[in-house]
Structure 1
């Protein structure tokens, strides 16, 4: 599946604080953001659409494994 880059504007002091305290807990900011985006996807995208997208991703993965 092709990935896109998402740009989000956020208060720099707050972001520094997040990074500082996540580092203390060995947490990964990108991993946490990915997880939250997945939750939003599951919350707002109808299941039929998710199934369609997943079936297309599976089809593309199968094409790449055949080559």
Structure 2
């Protein structure tokens, strides 16, 4: 599935503090933010819509079978 970037703003001193104390605990700010976004998705997007998106994602990742790979010769 294609990814999209988002931008958020935070006071510089607070962001520096987060990065500093997360580093002490070997935590990754990007991973934490992705986990938080996933929780928001699960909380607000109806389960039927989530299932639809998941099904479309599976269809998009399945390799397409070619009639030529079936052993036919041209």
Question: How many equivalent residue pairs?
Answer: 65
- The TM-score normalised by the length of structure 1 is 0.92
Larger Rg: 2
1:7-29 Cα deviation digits (max 9, x unpaired)? 00111110000000000000000
Question: 2:36 corresponds to which residue?
Answer: 36
Q: Please list every run of at least 4 consecutive aligned residues from structure 1 whose deviation after the TM superposition is greater than 6 angstroms.
A: none
Higher helix share: 1
Instruction: Provide the alpha-carbon RMSD of the alignment.
Output: 1.1
- The TM-score normalised by the length of structure 2 is 0.84
5+ residue gaps, structure 1? none
5+ residue gaps, structure 2? 66-74
